[in-house]
Amino acid sequence: MPAFDRLNRIAGKAVDRLHGERILISPRAEGSQYGGRVPDTTRVAHETRGVFADEPGVNDIAGQRAGNSLPGVTRLTNGQVSIQILAAFAELMPWEPRKGDLVQLIERAGSPFYSIVDPQKLDFGDRFLVLVREPQ
Protein backbone atom coordinates (compact mmCIF):
# COMPACT_ATOMS: atom_id res chain seq x y z
CA MET A 1 0.00 0.00 0.00
CA PRO A 2 1.50 3.38 -0.99
CA ALA A 3 2.45 5.74 1.82
CA PHE A 4 -0.24 8.29 0.92
CA ASP A 5 -2.95 5.62 1.08
CA ARG A 6 -1.73 4.58 4.53
CA LEU A 7 -1.78 8.20 5.72
CA ASN A 8 -5.25 8.68 4.24
CA ARG A 9 -6.57 5.65 6.16
CA ILE A 10 -4.97 6.86 9.41
CA ALA A 11 -6.50 10.33 8.95
CA GLY A 12 -9.86 8.77 8.09
CA LYS A 13 -9.85 6.70 11.29
CA ALA A 14 -9.08 9.82 13.33
CA VAL A 15 -11.93 11.76 11.69
CA ASP A 16 -14.31 8.86 12.29
CA ARG A 17 -13.28 8.60 15.93
CA LEU A 18 -13.97 12.32 16.48
CA HIS A 19 -16.99 12.94 14.24
CA GLY A 20 -18.28 9.63 12.89
CA GLU A 21 -21.61 8.12 13.84
CA ARG A 22 -23.72 5.10 12.97
CA ILE A 23 -26.14 5.51 10.07
CA LEU A 24 -28.67 3.21 8.47
CA ILE A 25 -29.22 3.37 4.72
CA SER A 26 -32.50 1.78 3.59
CA PRO A 27 -32.77 1.15 -0.14
CA ARG A 28 -35.76 2.50 -2.01
CA ALA A 29 -36.93 2.14 -5.58
CA GLU A 30 -38.97 4.39 -7.81
CA GLY A 31 -42.67 3.76 -7.13
CA SER A 32 -45.59 4.59 -9.33
CA GLN A 33 -45.90 7.92 -11.07
CA TYR A 34 -48.04 9.26 -8.22
CA GLY A 35 -46.98 7.09 -5.29
CA GLY A 36 -43.40 8.14 -4.58
CA ARG A 37 -40.67 5.76 -3.52
CA VAL A 38 -41.16 2.24 -2.19
CA PRO A 39 -38.76 -0.14 -0.39
CA ASP A 40 -36.34 -1.84 -2.79
CA THR A 41 -36.65 -5.57 -2.09
CA THR A 42 -33.54 -6.42 -4.14
CA ARG A 43 -31.22 -4.72 -1.61
CA VAL A 44 -31.18 -5.02 2.19
CA ALA A 45 -30.76 -2.11 4.60
CA HIS A 46 -27.16 -1.55 5.61
CA GLU A 47 -25.72 -0.02 8.76
CA THR A 48 -22.43 1.83 8.37
CA ARG A 49 -20.58 4.84 9.75
CA GLY A 50 -20.33 8.34 8.34
CA VAL A 51 -19.62 11.96 9.14
CA PHE A 52 -22.85 14.00 9.12
CA ALA A 53 -22.78 17.71 8.28
CA ASP A 54 -25.69 20.15 8.46
CA GLU A 55 -24.22 23.61 8.36
CA PRO A 56 -25.66 26.77 6.88
CA GLY A 57 -23.76 28.62 4.23
CA VAL A 58 -23.92 32.17 2.94
CA ASN A 59 -23.25 33.17 -0.65
CA ASP A 60 -22.89 36.74 -1.80
CA ILE A 61 -23.95 37.63 -5.31
CA ALA A 62 -22.28 40.78 -6.48
CA GLY A 63 -22.54 42.27 -9.92
CA GLN A 64 -22.90 45.45 -11.90
CA ARG A 65 -25.74 46.66 -13.99
CA ALA A 66 -26.21 49.82 -15.97
CA GLY A 67 -29.40 51.84 -15.92
CA ASN A 68 -31.88 52.05 -13.08
CA SER A 69 -30.43 49.73 -10.49
CA LEU A 70 -29.35 49.84 -6.91
CA PRO A 71 -25.71 48.90 -6.57
CA GLY A 72 -24.93 46.53 -3.78
CA VAL A 73 -24.66 42.93 -2.78
CA THR A 74 -27.39 40.33 -2.55
CA ARG A 75 -26.90 37.74 0.15
CA LEU A 76 -28.38 34.25 -0.07
CA THR A 77 -28.43 31.82 2.79
CA ASN A 78 -28.23 28.17 1.94
CA GLY A 79 -27.04 24.96 3.42
CA GLN A 80 -26.08 21.50 2.43
CA VAL A 81 -26.89 18.46 4.48
CA SER A 82 -24.51 15.62 3.74
CA ILE A 83 -22.85 12.48 4.96
CA GLN A 84 -19.37 11.38 4.02
CA ILE A 85 -18.69 7.67 4.28
CA LEU A 86 -14.98 7.00 4.51
CA ALA A 87 -13.44 4.51 2.09
CA ALA A 88 -12.81 1.87 4.78
CA PHE A 89 -16.57 1.71 5.48
CA ALA A 90 -17.65 2.20 1.85
CA GLU A 91 -15.69 -0.91 0.88
CA LEU A 92 -17.87 -2.97 3.24
CA MET A 93 -21.18 -1.82 1.73
CA PRO A 94 -22.98 -4.56 -0.21
CA TRP A 95 -24.28 -2.04 -2.76
CA GLU A 96 -23.75 1.58 -3.82
CA PRO A 97 -26.11 4.15 -2.29
CA ARG A 98 -28.55 5.50 -4.88
CA LYS A 99 -30.63 8.60 -5.34
CA GLY A 100 -33.79 8.24 -3.26
CA ASP A 101 -32.39 5.83 -0.64
CA LEU A 102 -33.41 6.67 2.94
CA VAL A 103 -30.81 7.66 5.56
CA GLN A 104 -31.35 7.52 9.32
CA LEU A 105 -28.97 8.80 12.01
CA ILE A 106 -29.19 5.90 14.46
CA GLU A 107 -27.49 7.55 17.44
CA ARG A 108 -29.61 10.72 17.41
CA ALA A 109 -32.97 10.14 19.06
CA GLY A 110 -35.77 11.96 17.25
CA SER A 111 -33.59 12.77 14.26
CA PRO A 112 -35.46 13.24 10.97
CA PHE A 113 -35.03 10.89 8.04
CA TYR A 114 -33.15 12.05 4.96
CA SER A 115 -33.29 11.09 1.31
CA ILE A 116 -30.19 10.90 -0.87
CA VAL A 117 -30.39 13.39 -3.74
CA ASP A 118 -26.83 13.18 -5.06
CA PRO A 119 -24.57 10.22 -4.29
CA GLN A 120 -20.96 10.90 -5.26
CA LYS A 121 -17.88 8.69 -5.28
CA LEU A 122 -14.83 10.71 -4.24
CA ASP A 123 -11.14 10.11 -4.81
CA PHE A 124 -9.67 7.35 -2.66
CA GLY A 125 -13.05 5.59 -2.38
CA ASP A 126 -14.99 7.85 -0.01
CA ARG A 127 -18.72 8.34 -0.68
CA PHE A 128 -20.29 11.78 -0.34
CA LEU A 129 -24.08 11.75 -0.07
CA VAL A 130 -26.00 15.01 -0.45
CA LEU A 131 -29.27 14.74 1.49
CA VAL A 132 -32.65 16.41 1.85
CA ARG A 133 -34.95 16.08 4.83
CA GLU A 134 -37.84 13.70 4.29
CA PRO A 135 -41.32 15.05 5.04
CA GLN A 136 -42.64 13.66 8.33
> 45: how many CB neighbours lie within 10 A of its CB?
13
Q: What is the pTM of this model?
A: 0.77
**Whole-angstrom distance, CA of residue 54 vs CA of residue 131:** 10
Largest CA distance in the chain: 62
Cβ atoms of residues 128 and 111 within 8 Å: no
**Tens digit of each residue's pLDDT (9 = 90 or more) over 101-114:** 999 999 998 899 99
Per-residue model confidence (pLDDT) at position 124: 83
Fold classification of 3-133 (topology level): Thrombin, subunit H (2.40.10)
Per-residue model confidence (pLDDT) at position 67: 55
Domain residue ranges of the chain, discontinuous segments joined by +: 3-133
> 10: how many CB neighbours lie within 10 A of its CB?
10
**Tens digit of each residue's pLDDT (9 = 90 or more) over 54-100:** 876 655 565 555 555 555 566 555 668 899 999 889 999 999 999 99
Confidence of residue 1 (pLDDT cuts 50, 70, 90): low
Question: Does an H or E element contain 68, and which?
Answer: none
**Whole-angstrom distance, CA of residue 31 vs CA of residue 96:** 19
pLDDT at 31 over 80: no
Which one-letter amino acid corresponds to residue 83? I
